[in-house]
Amino acid sequence: MSLSLDGIGLVHPNGQRALQRVTLAAAGGERVAIIGPSGAGKTTLLRVAAASLRPSEGRLQALAVNPWQLSARALRRLRARIGVVHQAPPIPPRLRVVTAVLAGRLGAWSAGKALASLLYPADIAGAREVLARLDLADRLFERCDRLSGGQLQRVGIARVLYQGPELLLADEPVSALDPALADAAVGQLIAQSEASGATLVASLHAVDLALKWFPRIGGMREGVVMFDVPAREVTRAMLHELYATEGAVLPTQGNDPSALAPLQTLAQVVPIARPGCR
Amino acid sequence: MKTPTLAAPERDPQARRRATGVLLGVLVLWPMLQLAEFRPAALFESGNLKVMGGFLSAFLPPASSVEFLGLLLKATLETLAMATAGIALAFVIATPLALAMTHSLSVSRIGPGPGRWRGEAFRHGARLLLTLLRAVPELVWALLFVRALGLGPAAGVLALAITYGGMLGKVYAEILESSDTRPGRALLEAGSGRIAALAYGLLPGAAQELASYTVYRWECAVRASVVMGFVGAGGLGQLMDQSMKMLNGGEASTILLTFLLLVLLADALSAALRRLLA
């Protein structure tokens, strides 16, 4: 198993419980989308999987080891093999795009190479190649504070593509993108997983996007995994129960008809138009 | 959203805490002002005004003999050299200690992971060392070193390096903690080393603050080196000491004008550095 959570629970230091007996496993190369209302614990789940948050209970295996039993050095090497796309890209505004992307390999580079790359970028071609996949190659030498929110989010994705991780975790990776770009960006994450054999676990707000690209869907609500089934077995009733607290309308990409194409089976049963919703 | 939480209270729950804070502030401050014999009205009593006026009138006109200006130039260069060398040494002392102490570069706090207690102890050690360095005023260090190294700027440089090393280290660590720490943390979570996380994640956001604080400290060092000159550490202070002892107000006022120029210079340098790093 590339990622395995077994009975994972997590209580934040303020006493708030974020995860409750979460069990979820993904084999090498598998692609899973996590959906659910906001506050469901999706981000916490991904942070636990990324060895950034230590679970309060349960057993965790990431890339076949328990991160919290490793020595500091081994844990660092493990983290370098896990890539995380953050919802808010953690990129300083003064950094140039090329530097922000190359930072993806800092886990693999020596400190000397990292510092030298600040003087002259160590791998311009590599950065340009991943940016081109996200349609941003022309922004290579621009500063990140000149980018729009959506462009910056794609730079964050490009950084992780450049990292080339074995376990790829994406937390709402396309929340700032319009439907067409979001579709393309998720497509690139899928393509990366297919090409490198990386396991991909992504939390997504738009149900249609998840159903279109991911063979397996996990539904979370209030820190609990409500279902974990192949995409074709997801029914309207399951979705409505999942999003019960958010009203009768399911969150989708918005009213862009092209994003609904794969939803043939759901199109009649799910009221989809919800403009302004990501 | 999350499980139904308690209803938000009607009134601002922080109001009482703020009122208590203000009350405590006044209660603490009032006796302090009494203890410090704070009576601003005394400044304006006619007798005092006359004494101060007499003292100041001796300062005019500023001395401008060529011989004195030559001495002044030499002393100014000596002071500048003392301050610059002192700050450079202080920087060398401060940087490693600040990096050891700052929470935003701690890997073991992520999780928390292995080596947490060791890391915590190490950080406390660095903090204690920095406190010890700056607890003794530079004047006391200077008195000590003048006895060991004899009269001259070398004693001042060492005194500045020690005290200012302690100040710079503490404030560097705190600047790194109060600017946006997420980029650095995200890099550490992706397996990057501490130096790389500093260079790619923290410095882009904090460089301006760090530079302007360092230049400000250099400005303080120029002033401090004057005070140390009074105890024989050379430079403008020694010159000032001689002028005052000879009751030569004109020379003293020329020296004060030189200080003004030096502070203006520091200000311009700081502004230029901030522009460069913007």
| For range B185-211, the mean pLDDT | 93
- The chain-wide mean pLDDT, for chain B, equals 87
Sign, CA dihedral A181-A156-A202-A195, equals positive
Q: For chain A, what is the mean pLDDT?
A: 88
Q: Among candidates A191, A188, A180, A157, which has minimal Cα distance to A88?
A: A157
Distance between CA atoms of residues B235 and B242, nearest Å = 11
Q: What is the pLDDT of residue A277?
A: 39
Site of tokens 């004494």: B51
pLDDT at A245: 83
pLDDT of residue A254: 63
Q: What b/e sequence results for B80-89 when a residue is b if at least 16 CB atoms lie within 10 Å of its CB, and e otherwise? A: bbbbbbbbeb
Q: Is the pLDDT of residue B55 over 80?
A: no
Q: Which residues of A touch B200 (CB under 8 A)?
A: 92, 95, 99, 103, 106, 114, 118
> Among A75, A91, A111, whose Cβ lies nearest the Cβ of B113?
A75
| pLDDT at residue A220 is higher than 60 | yes
How confident is the model over A179-188, as pLDDT tens digits?
999 999 999 9
3-class state of residue A66 by DSSP: coil
Helix axis angle for A149-163 and A124-133, nearest 10°, is: 120
Q: What is the mean pLDDT of residues B63-88?
A: 88
- Residue A26: phi and psi, rounded to 5, are -135, 125
What's the pLDDT score for residue A39?
Answer: 87
Q: What is the pLDDT of residue A269?
A: 42
Q: Which of A258-262, B56-60, B202-206: highest mean pLDDT? A: B202-206
H or E stretch covering A260: helix A257-260
Bridge-based pairing state of the strands A57-62 and A224-230: unpaired
DSSP bridge pairs for A31: A200
| High-pLDDT (> 90) share of chain B, % | 37
Task: Tell me if residue A57 falls in helix, strand or coil.
Answer: strand
Confirm if A22 and A46 have CB atoms less than 8 A apart.
no
**How far apart are the two ends of chain B, measured CA to CA in Å?**
40
Cis peptide before B61 (omega within 30 of 0): yes
B 177-206 residues with CB below 8 A of A?
180, 182-183, 185-187, 189-193, 195-197, 199-202, 204-205
Distances, alpha carbon A187 to alpha carbons A31, A194, B2, B50, B154, in Å: 12, 10, 31, 83, 65
Complex confidence, ipTM? 0.88
Q: b vs e for A221-243, b when ≥16 Cβ sit within 10 Å of the residue's Cβ?
A: bbbebebbeebeebeeeebbebb
Query: At A178, which helix (H) or strand (E)?
Result: none
CATH number, domain B64-277, options 1.10.10.60, 3.30.70.260, 1.10.3720.10, 1.10.760.10 = 1.10.3720.10
Pick from B115, B180, B201: which is nearest to A72 by CB? B115
Asked whether residue A244 carries a pLDDT value surpassing 90, the answer given is: no
The dihedral sign for the CA sequence A206, A212, A214, A216: positive
pLDDT at A271 over 60: no
pLDDT mean over A73-77:
93
Which SS3 state, helix, strand or coil, does residue B257 take? helix
Which residues, in sequence order, are CB contacts of B193 under 8 Å at separation 6+?
Answer: A76, A106, A111, A114
Reading across the β-sheet that carries A17-26, which strands appear in turn?
A17-26, A3-11, A57-62
The tens digit of pLDDT for each residue in A86-102 reads 999 999 999 999 999 99
For the ranges A7-11, B58-62, B68-72, which has the lowest average pLDDT? B58-62
Amino acid, res. B126: A
CA distance B278 to chain A (A): 8
Distances (CA, A) of B265 to B14, B84, B255: 45, 13, 15
Q: Which helix (H) or strand (E) holds A220?
A: strand A216-221
Confidence of residue B232 (pLDDT cuts 50, 70, 90): confident
Q: Residue A201: helix, strand or coil by DSSP?
A: strand
* Between residues B224 and A156, the one the model is more confident about: A156
CATH architecture, domain defined by A1-81+167-278: 3-Layer(aba) Sandwich (3.40)
CA distance B275 to chain A (A): 13
Query: In the structure encoding, which two tokens stand for residue A36, read together?
Result: 């659910």
Q: Tell me which residue of B215, B216, B218 sits closest to B83, measured CA to CA.
A: B218
Chain B residues inside the 8 Å CB shell of A81: 191
CA distances from B236 to B8, B89, B222 (A): 63, 21, 9
Cα–Cα distance for residue pair A126/A149, rounded to 1 Å: 23
Angle made by CA atoms A2, A101, A144, in degrees to the nearest 5: 135
Query: Å from A267 to nearest chain B CA?
Result: 26
Tell me the Ramachandran region of residue A109: left when phi exceeds 0, alpha when psi lies from -120 to 50, beta otherwise: beta
Q: Best mutation site among B104, B105, B192 for testing chain A: the one with the most A CBs within 10 Å?
A: B192
| A17-26, A63-72, A219-228, A256-265: least confident range | A256-265
Q: Is the pLDDT of residue A259 over 50?
A: no
Q: What 3-state DSSP class applies to B266? A: helix
In the predicted structure, residue B138 carries a pLDDT above the cut 90: no
* CA end-to-end distance (rounded Å), chain A: 32
Domain-by-domain residue ranges, chain A? 1-81+167-278, 92-164
Do the Cβ atoms of B191 and A37 come within 8 Å?
no
Residue A25 has pLDDT above 90, yes or no: yes
Which residues of chain A neighbour B190 with C-beta distances below 8 Å? 79-80, 82-84, 104, 106-107, 163
Q: Per-residue pLDDT averaged across B199-206, rounded?
A: 93
pLDDT at B250: 84
Contacts of A143 in chain B (CB under 8 A): none
User: What are B146-193's pLDDT values in tens digits?
Assistant: 888 887 788 888 999 999 999 999 999 999 999 999 999 999 999 999
The alpha carbon of residue B97 is apart from the nearest alpha carbon of chain A, in Å, by 18
- Is residue B4 pLDDT above 60, yes or no? no
The stretch A45-60 carries a mean pLDDT of 93
Which chain A residues are within 8 Å of B209, Cβ to Cβ? none
Which chain A residue has its CA at the smallest distance from B106's CA? Answer: A72
Q: What is the pLDDT of residue B143?
A: 86
